[in-house]
Structure formats: structure tokens, C-alpha cells
Chain A
Amino acid sequence: MRVACCRVPDLPLAAELRAHPELAGKPLAVASGPGPRAELVAVSEQAAARGVRRLNSVAHARTLCAELQVCVASPALERAARQALLDAALSVSPRAALAQLTSGSFAAEGCVFADATGVETLFRSEHGFATALAERARRLGLPAAVALASSRSPAQLAARRLGVGEVLVLAPDQERDFLARLPLDLLDPDDGVAETLTRFGVRSVKELLALPRRALGTRLGPRVLELVALARGEAQDPPLPSPAASRLVEAADLEYSVDQLEPLGFVLQGLLSRLVARLEARRLACASLSLTLELDAGGRDARRVGLAAPTRDLRVLMRLLLRALEARPPGAAVLAAALEAEGKPLRQGQLDLFRPAGPAAAELGRTLAELQALCGEERIGSPHCVDDHRPHLFGMQNFDPEKSRSFAPERPGNVPPTLATRALRPPVAAEVRVQAGLPSRVRSAVANGAVLHVAGPWRTTGGWWSPERRFAFDYFDVQTSDGTLSRLRFDHTRRCWDVDAVYD
């Protein structure tokens, strides 16, 4: 088996730069909290060059570097960055998993493992695969180093030796020699074991492996044996999983509460663009969006934006989100925002031998999403008649012309064309004079004048068991003196007349 490890050395810093790319190249530090006494947990190269170090207080760091930009560490951003790293791995391999979080000196690193078995057919070489993985991570805003070995531990140890953007492929026969040359610190031993081994004068993996294993176990306990197994590349790793879930989350904790839609739009734009980049990496499209806002008042505002078709068109998704927010603005200022996308593969088109080619599947998806943004949710789709006694009820379903592949029966040529109705939504109120139980004169916005011809009534009733669903209509086909042929109805429940359709 071959495994690649993609490692981001300083994930809190990378997560901030991913969210704020405009800060790249500037002296930047990530603080553990707000205020001048907070400790720095991550420092950029530019800040380090000015003497700023981790664990400095913010106030001290500012005295060292006046133009230092300080961001408060955001667990939400780090979680999203870690998931983005997993997406980068899943974009090149079907099986991938995030490395377990550590609490030692490598607590800030973010690692993901990707199955690299048999990748030569797709990427020409293992080096090509590792380069592609590093490039995918970089595109998602996470510059990383990639090492490839026979199992997870050697790959991770090798990645720790590499600088950002570097790539290393370890052949199986080189691994032991490579590991032997590594300093012991890279194995991240816990403090007790590290101190004891330092007292013994053991500073490299080679020196550790030179010691008798059994005696080490007897004297220093099982932890050191785990360390030896790690150094020999003998650690037992479970197989890498193939994640089925494709729910992608991007979140951000805001440093200041936002109480207007326009600045909130900027925050959401950033979240959405990162989400779309991740969807693109995994060749997925967004089938639905869920927005959760943490409010200043202590509550939570959650809403779901359904899409007529999966898309990853940023402009369309943003328009839909803003439309949803404008329709129902959050009740209080916003402290944090989380955006979750349900990823689905883009529609695949299948050309038909006997039918005209319809719109391309991907283009249709984009069009449907854009139309939804223009017309509103539930106003786009394919209509269908509902099997219900209530008059003129119809439903809307997702438009998918691929589903109706069967040919409709051809109408015989000699059948006369059908007279159709044009619906009036809502029905137009009418004043009607009645003689002998039939309308004799109509006054309304669509039909006016004396009734020349009338057919009916046709009574439709139902829903008698529920006051809300109860209906009782008498329908009449009426031609008035102004030439309009309309469908007039008397509503027995509301005791009023209206015109609900025009023959046209």
C-alpha cells in the first residue's frame, strides 16, 4: 500500500490567510483571544523576521512590529481549513482521512492522508500524484508539503521534514534509512519520554533504534515501544476510508457583530467562494444551502435555500442567499455565520438517438439556478396535475427532461385543436346579476356586460370534514356582450362570485 501525507505546518495561520488572502505577505499573527494580553499561537514568516515569536503577548508583539496584523484564532475557520484539506485529498484519491489531532509540539499542523496505491496510471508517477495533491491544496488556499511512503507514519514524518510546497516520494527500500536520519523530535514523543531519552543522550531515530527494544520497554514502558514502532515504520494503520457524506461546511466567527445585510453579504461572499472552490475540487455542485447565523441576542437563525438544480455558480448562489436574507432579515446582529452545502454530482447528459438534443446538463443546471434567483423558489420547475378533487390544483417538481424519455402518443391529424383556458391567479372578483338561477349580467375587470350565452352550473364540492379545506363552487361558462368567454364561479363558502379563467 502507498499513502501520501499532505501537511500544512501552521494551520491556524493558513486558515486565517485562506479567509483573508489580502493579508498574505504582511506581518501577521494569530492570537489566542482578544485584548493585548492574549498570547500569539501562530506567527507568519514576515512577523518572525521582525522578532515576533509564538507565546509572545499581543502588546509585546506590537512593540516589536508596529505594523503587525493580529487576528483572533477562530476554531470555525480552522475546522473549515481542515475539511478543505480533506477535500484536496479527495480530489485526487477516492480514499482519504484527516490525521488525528495531536497536543504536542505539532499541535498546529494539519495533515491529511490519501491513498496513493496505483496512482501511476492517472498521474504518470507517484511524484506526479504528490505534486498534484500539493497543487490542489494550494488552490484551496492551503500551501502544503506532500510526502509519499508505504504507510501513514513514515509519510507524516517525512512531510514534517519538508518545507511548504516541497514534495518527497520515499521508495519502500529507502524508508528505514530515511527515518533513521531524522531527529527524535519529529516523532513527537511526550514530555516524559523525551526528557528521559535526552538524559540518555538519544537525539536521533538512529540512536533510538540502536537500543535494545525489550530493555527499552522494560525500563521506559509501552510508550517508548510505540515510538520505536513509529521509527521503524511498523505502526499499524487502519485502511483509509472512502467518505460517503458530501456535506461541506464553511464557517467564520466575526470579530465584530454585524447588523446590516450589506456587510453580512461580504462575509457570506467569502464563505461561499471558499465553499464553491471546495465543491469544484471534488467535482460536485451545490444541491442545497443551509445558512446558520449566531445572533447577538443569544439566539440562532437557521434557514435553508433549496436549488432547482445543482450548481456551483457563485453569482447565482450569492443572489439566492441574499434574496433569502432580504425576504426575512435576521432578528439581531450576527456574531458568527456557517454555510453548509450539500454536494451532489453535476447532471450528466445522455444524448438521445431519436430526440433533438436538449440543453447541456451542466448548462441547464446553471440556467435553472439563475432562473430561481430571478423568479423565486418554488416558482421554477415542471408543472404537474395533482390527483385531487380541489379544482385547478397543480404541483411543481424539479425540471428534469431526461426523466420523460418516452414518446408521447402522436395526436391524429384530424383531431380539431382544443379550446384552452388562461388561468387568472388570483381569481378576479365579479358582480353578477342572477335571473332564474343563472347569471344574466356580469361586471368584472375581465368580462363585462349582459350574458349572451351561459352553460352550467357544474357543482364541485369537497373537503367538508375540515373548515379550512372545505370548498363548494358552481361553475358557469359565460359569454358576455363584450365578447369575452369566461369561466365564472360562485363560491358557496364565501358567498361571492369571481372569474377564475378565460377561454382563450
Chain B
Amino acid sequence: MSRPPETALAVEALLRELGPQLRRGGLPDESLPRFPTGIDAVDRLLGGGFPRGQLSELTGTATSGRTSLALALLARSTAAGEVCAVVDAADGFDPLAAESAGVTLARVLWARAPDLQSALRSTSRLLEAEGFGLVLLNLASAGLRLPPALGTRLSRAAAGTHTALVVLGLARAEGASSALVLEMRAARAHFTGTPCLLEALEVEAHLVRQRSGPADRCTRLRLQACEAA
């Protein structure tokens, strides 16, 4: 939306008058440190990866590839020597799949929270502890949703740390507490050969929101099934 020239001039004058403590929204002075996923297409889309000290959301329905992307992020983080945590309210973390994806399990703390409240409190405690490079909060199950107030609180708790907080969910949480929302969508499954084998799953990663950069872009990924990979 373009502003009338006199309004733009008035805004510029006001900015000059108020000094350097005031800056335009959405344009931070320096780029946030990022956590790469190790998948070039996704890292390019996100401008380097998931931001540290921020809450990010990785959403999608079943078979959308969000778990595969989360495990890729976890694998890359543990390979870089980071200590990571998975708070699993959905109890869906599969250690065998994680190991196949390259995750160093010894550097992953897995908290199998029995309910949403315990999961949120565990996440908050992990952020307080500081030193965890990545905290993955798995809410990818029906009935689990990040409440807006608690999302804001978690976002604030992450802000003072170097931890990238990634919430895995079915749909985007209400409220605007997350710095980044990446929505995954299933595209096509590939079954090939005789006998028939699951070869790969094509998915689409759609950057719905990004606080510190352009959004509404997408990329396509091919996730290779274990036997074929």
C-alpha cells in the first residue's frame, strides 16, 4: 500500500525527531542467528534455517512431511554438537526413525509428557535451563493445540536464550507469537518397482509467516523412504 507523499514525509520527520531508539516494525537491525535444517531448499526458503531465541511453528496434517523435516533439523543440530530436547506431548517420536535420519540420540533429551500442561511446563523449564540448542515441542496430534497466551509466554521465555523453539503441530496456533510459520503439505507419494515399494514422498514447504523477512513463498521437497535412501 502506497502512502500519500505528505504522510510519508511526516513519518520520516517524526522518525528523525524521535531518534534511533525508534525503528520500523519488521526490519530488525541485525539478522537473527539461524539453525539450518541441512536441506538446502528449506534453508534457502527460511533465510538460513529456524531462528534461535524465537518460537517457530512447523505445521501440517498427517503425511505432510513435518516429522521428517523436524528430524532433519534434529540430526543437523546434534551433528553440530548441540544438546537438544524433544518434548513429546503426542508421544510420536520414533527413536528408530530418528536414528535412521541421522540423529545422535545420546544428545537428545526425550520428555514424554503425559498431557499438554506438563508438556508446556517442561518446555518452559527447558528454556529456563539455557544451553539447549533446540527444543522441539511435539503437539502433532488431534486435540493438542498451543494456547495463545502460553504461546506468547513460551515465545518470551525463548527470547532471552540461544534456543530455537520449534512447535510441531497440526495447524497454526492462534495469536501471532511465532517468529516463523512453515506449513508442510503433502504432494505425491511414489510407489515403484515389482514388488511394489514405497520410494519417496513429495511434499511442499510453504513459508506462511516470517517476522524478519519475506514470507508467502514455497519450495518442493522429495523425502526418500529409508530402504531407498
Binding site for B on A (CB under 8 A): 352, 354-360, 363-364, 366-368, 370-371, 374-376, 379-385, 392, 394, 396, 399-401, 403-404, 407-411, 413, 415-425, 446-447, 453-455, 477, 479, 483-486, 501-504
Give the residues in chain B near A407, CB-CB below 8 Å.
79, 81
Residues of chain A with a CB closer than 8 A to B40's CB: 413
B130 on the A face (CB < 8 A): yes
Residues of A within 8 A of B198 (CB): 419, 453, 455, 477, 485, 503
Stretch of B4-12, B15-23, B90-98 lying at the A interface: B90-98
- Name the A residues within 8 Å of B221 (CB-CB): 417
Pair A415/B67 contact, Cβ less than 8 Å = no
Bound together, the chains give a CA A284 to CA B12 distance in angstroms of: 62
Asked if B105 and A383 make an inter-chain contact with CB atoms under 8 angstroms apart, the answer reads yes
Say whether B63 faces chain A, with CB atoms less than 8 Å apart: yes
Q: Is B189 an interface residue (CB 8 A)?
A: yes
B94 touches A454 (CB 8 A): no
Known contacts: A371-B111, A375-B122, A504-B140. The answer to whether A425 contacts B91 by CB under 8 A is yes
Contact B122 A359 (CB under 8 A): no
Query: How far is B118's CA from A380's CA once the two chains are assembled, in angstroms?
Result: 12
Q: A418-B71, A419-B224 are in contact. Are A485 and B63 (CB under 8 A)?
A: yes
- B101 touches A (CB below 8 Å): yes
- Cβ–Cβ < 8 Å partners of A380 in chain B: 109-112
Asked if residues A455 and B195 are in contact (CB atoms below 8 Å), the reply is yes
- Point out the residues of chain B lying under 8 angstroms from A483, CB to CB: 61, 63, 186
* A385-B108 Cα distance, complex, nearest whole Å: 13
Whether B222 and A420, one on each chain, are in contact in the complex, defined by CB atoms closer than 8 angstroms, is no
Number of A-B contacts (CB under 8 A): 220
Query: In the docked arrangement, what's the CA distance between A420 and B198, Å?
Result: 12
Q: For residue B120, give the distance in angstroms from its CB to the closest CB of chain A.
A: 10
Chain B hits for A368, CB < 8 A: 109
Name the residue of chain A whose CB is nearest to the CB of B196.
A455
Inter-subunit contact B114/A358 (CB<8 Å):
no
Which single residue of chain A is at the shortest CB-CB distance from B118? Answer: A374
Query: Please, how many residues of chain B have a CB less than 8 angstroms from a CB on the other chain?
Result: 74
Residues on the A chain within 8 Å of B62, using CB:
422, 446-447, 484, 486, 502, 504
A380 to chain B: closest residue by CB: B111
| B39 pairs with A356, CB closer than 8 A | no
A411 contacts which chain B residues (CB < 8 A)?
38, 75, 79, 102
**Is A359 a contact partner of B131 (Cβ separation < 8 A)?**
yes
Interface residues of B in 96-145 (CB under 8 A from A): 96-102, 104-114, 118, 121-122, 125-126, 128-133, 140
CB of A408 within 8 A of CB of B102, answer yes
Question: Does B197 make an interface contact (CB < 8 A)?
Answer: yes
Contact between A421 and B229 (Cβ–Cβ < 8 Å)? no
Q: Decide: A363 and B131 in contact? CB cutoff 8 A.
A: yes
A420 and B79: CB pair below 8 A? no
With A367-B125, A392-B94, A408-B102 already in contact, 12 other A-B pairs whose C-beta atoms are closer than 8 Å:
A356-B133, A359-B129, A370-B125, A371-B109, A382-B105, A383-B108, A396-B110, A418-B225, A454-B196, A477-B197, A484-B63, A485-B198
Task: From A409, A416, A420, give the contact of B94 (CB < 8 A).
Answer: A420
Contact of A485 with B131 in the complex, beta carbons under 8 Å: no
Q: How far in angstroms is the closest Cβ of chain B from A454?
A: 7
Cβ-defined contact, B129 with A363, below 8 A: yes
> Given the complex of chains A and B, what is the CA–CA distance between A359 and B135 in angstroms?
13
The reply on B64 being an interface residue by CB < 8 A is yes
* Residue of B69, B109, B133, B225 with most chain A CB atoms under a 10 A cut-off: B109
B180 — which chain A residues lie within 8 A by C-beta? none
Measured between beta carbons, the chain B residues less than 8 angstroms from A479 are: 189, 191
A485 interface neighbour in B60, B95, B128, B201, Cβ under 8 Å = B201
Verify B93–A382 contact, CB threshold 8 A: no
A504 touches B125 (CB 8 A): no
A381 and B109 contacting across the interface, CB-CB below 8 Å: yes
Are B105 and A420 in contact, with the CB atoms below 8 A? no
Q: Is B223 engaged at the interface, CB distance under 8 Å to the other chain?
A: yes
Q: In the complex, which residues of chain A have a beta carbon less than 8 angstroms from the beta carbon of B108?
A: 382-383
